[in-house]
Amino acid sequence: MEFSIQDSQLLATKGLINGQWVDADDNSTVPVVNPATGEQLTDVANMGAAETRRAIEAASDALPGWSDLSAQKRSTLLEAWYDLVMENQDELAAILTAEQGKPLFEAKGEVAYGASYIKWFAEEARRVYGDIIPAAQPGRRNLVVKQPVGVVAAITPWNFPSAMLARKIAPALAAGCTIVCKPATETPLSALALVALAQKAGVPDGVINLVVGSRSADIGGEMTSNPIVRKLTFTGSTPVGKLLMKQCADTVKRTSMELGGNAPIIIFDDADLDQAIDGALVSKFRNSGQTCICSNRLLVQAGIYDRFIERLAEKVGQFRVGNGLEESTTHGPLVSEKAVTGVKALVDSAVADGARVVIGGDSGEQGSCFFQPTILADATPAMGVFKEEIFGPVAPVFRFESDDEAIALANDTEFGLAAYLYTNNLKRIWKVSEALEYGMVGVNETAISSEVIPFGGVKESGQGREGSKYGLDDYLETKLICLGGL
Ligand code: SIN
Tens of pLDDT, residue by residue over 63-111, are: 999 999 999 999 999 999 999 999 999 999 999 999 999 999 999 999 9
Q: What is the distance in A from the centroid of ligand 1 to the CA of 291?
A: 6
Consecutive H or E run containing 377: strand 374-379
Q: Is 415 in the pocket of ligand 1 (CB under 6 A)?
A: no
368 inside domain: yes
Whether residue 474 sits in one domain with residue 435: no
Residue of 110, 116, 164, 465 to test ligand 1 pocket, by largest number of atoms within 8 Å of CB: 164
CATH assignment of the domain containing 293: 3.40.309.10
Whether residue 211 sits in one domain with residue 76: yes
| Torsional class of 4: left (φ above 0), alpha (ψ -120 to 50), beta (otherwise) | beta
Q: Measured from the CA of 167, which atom of ligand 1 is nearest?
A: 7
Is residue 155 classed as helix, strand or coil in its secondary structure?
Answer: strand
Long-range contacts of 358-366 (CB under 8 A, 24+ apart): 358/309, 358/313, 359/313, 359/316, 359/317, 360/316, 360/393, 360/394, 364/321, 364/333, 366/36, 366/321, 366/322, 366/323, 366/333
456 inside domain: no
Q: Is 449 in the pocket of ligand 1 (CB under 6 A)?
A: yes
Q: Is 113 in the pocket of ligand 1 (CB under 6 A)?
A: no
Whether residue 179 sits in one domain with residue 63: yes
Q: What is the DSSP string of 85-133?
A: HHHTHHHHHHHHHHHH---HHHHHHHHHHHHHHHHHHHHHGGG---EEE
364 inside domain: yes
Which residue blocks in 286-336 are alpha helix, DSSP H?
305-316
Check 110, 258, 451, 466 and give the catalytic one: 258
CATH assignment of the domain containing 160: 3.40.605.10
Residues 6+ apart with CB under 8 A from 412: 381, 386
Consecutive H or E run containing 154: strand 151-155
In 10 A of CB 303, how many CB atoms? 12
- For the chain, the residue count is 486
Q: Report the number of secondary-structure helices (H) and strands (E) in the chain.
A: 14, 20
Confidence (pLDDT) at 258: 98
350-377 pLDDT, tens digit per residue, is 999 999 999 999 998 899 999 999 999 9
DSSP 203: P
Specify the number of domains making up the chain. Answer: 2
Q: What is the distance in A from the centroid of ligand 1 to the CA of 189?
A: 19
* CA end-to-end distance (rounded Å), the chain: 71
Confidence (pLDDT) at 2: 61
Whether residue 112 sits in one domain with residue 249: yes
Is 258 a catalytic site residue? Answer: yes
Residues 6+ apart with CB under 8 A from 432: 266, 403, 406, 407, 421, 423
Whether residue 303 sits in one domain with residue 210: no
Confidence (pLDDT) at 320: 97
Backbone angles phi, psi at 66, to 5 degrees: -70, -45
Please, what is the angle between helix 426-435 and helix 403-411, to 10°?
30
455 inside domain: no
pLDDT one digit per residue (tens) for the chain, 486 residues: 566 888 889 999 999 999 999 999 999 999 999 999 999 999 999 999 999 999 999 999 999 999 999 999 999 999 999 999 999 999 999 999 999 999 999 999 999 999 999 999 999 999 999 999 999 999 999 999 999 999 999 999 999 999 999 999 999 999 999 999 999 999 999 999 999 999 999 999 999 999 999 999 999 999 999 999 999 999 999 999 999 999 999 999 999 999 999 999 999 999 999 999 999 999 999 999 999 999 999 999 999 999 999 999 999 999 999 999 999 999 999 999 999 999 999 999 999 999 999 999 999 889 999 999 999 999 999 999 999 999 999 999 999 999 999 999 999 999 999 999 999 999 999 999 999 999 999 999 999 999 999 999 999 999 999 999 999 999 999 999 999 999
CA–CA distances in Å: residue 452 to residues 116, 263, 444: 9, 21, 19
The Cα–Cα gap between 466 and 254 comes to 14
Whether residue 374 sits in one domain with residue 252: no
486 inside domain: no
Q: Is 300 in the pocket of ligand 1 (CB under 6 A)?
A: no
Confidence (pLDDT) at 365: 87
Which residue blocks in 154-269 are alpha helix, DSSP H?
163-175, 188-201, 216-225, 238-249
Whether residue 269 sits in one domain with residue 254: no
Whether residue 18 sits in one domain with residue 116: yes
Contact of 156 with 183, CB cutoff 8 Å: yes
Whether residue 287 sits in one domain with residue 186: no
CA nearest to 154, candidates 118, 181, 174: 181
Distance of CA 177 to the CA centre of its chain: 21
Q: Measured from the CA of 159, which atom of ligand 1 is nearest?
A: 2
CA nearest to 186, candidates 110, 96, 108, 249: 96
Is residue 431 classed as helix, strand or coil in its secondary structure?
Answer: helix
Contact of 253 with 220, CB cutoff 8 Å: no
Whether residue 198 sits in one domain with residue 66: yes
Contact of 241 with 187, CB cutoff 8 Å: no
Q: For 331, how many CA atoms within 13 A lie in the half-sphere containing its CB? A: 28
Question: Nearest 10 degrees: CA dihedral of 335, 339, 344, 347?
Answer: -90
372 inside domain: yes
Whether residue 341 sits in one domain with residue 233: no
Q: Measured from the CA of 449, which atom of ligand 1 is nearest?
A: 8
Is 79 a catalytic site residue? Answer: no
Q: Is 291 in the pocket of ligand 1 (CB under 6 A)?
A: yes
Whether residue 240 sits in one domain with residue 117: yes
Q: Which domain holds residue 76?
A: 5-260+461-481
408 inside domain: yes
